[in-house]
Amino acid sequence: MSSLAGHQFIRAVRADPGLRTKIAVLGTDPRLEDIVRLAADAGHAVEAETLRLAYGQDWALRWLASKDTGAGNRDSRARAKAE
């Protein structure tokens, strides 16, 4: 099963404040099925398992990126102050 549709929906949520608001209305612990229904209403045909997979991949990639850029960001700020 491809996670592309899930990633597309995740990107849409990041880009669309209205979509984020609709998700927020679902509460602090929304059911995945409610999010899938909301995605469908917004034109994103995604299955629950696909969204679950994409969400896990997204968090793993962001965690890895934070590990790679953590020290680099500190070094960049130090160089910027020195200049």
pLDDT by residue (tens digit) across 15-49? 999 999 999 999 999 999 999 999 999 999 999 99
Q: Please give the Cα distance from 16 to 41 (Å, whole number).
A: 14
Per-residue pLDDT tens digits for 48-59 = 999 999 999 999
Q: pTM above the 0.85 mark? A: no
Number of domains in the chain: 1
The answer to whether the CB of 45 falls within 8 A of the CB of 12 is no
Q: Give the domain range for residue 8.
A: 4-82
Q: Please give the Cα distance from 23 to 29 (Å, whole number).
A: 10
Helices assigned H by DSSP within 1-83? 4-15, 17-25, 32-41, 48-82
Instruction: Of 53, 71, 41, 63, give the one whose Cα is nearest residue 10.
Output: 53
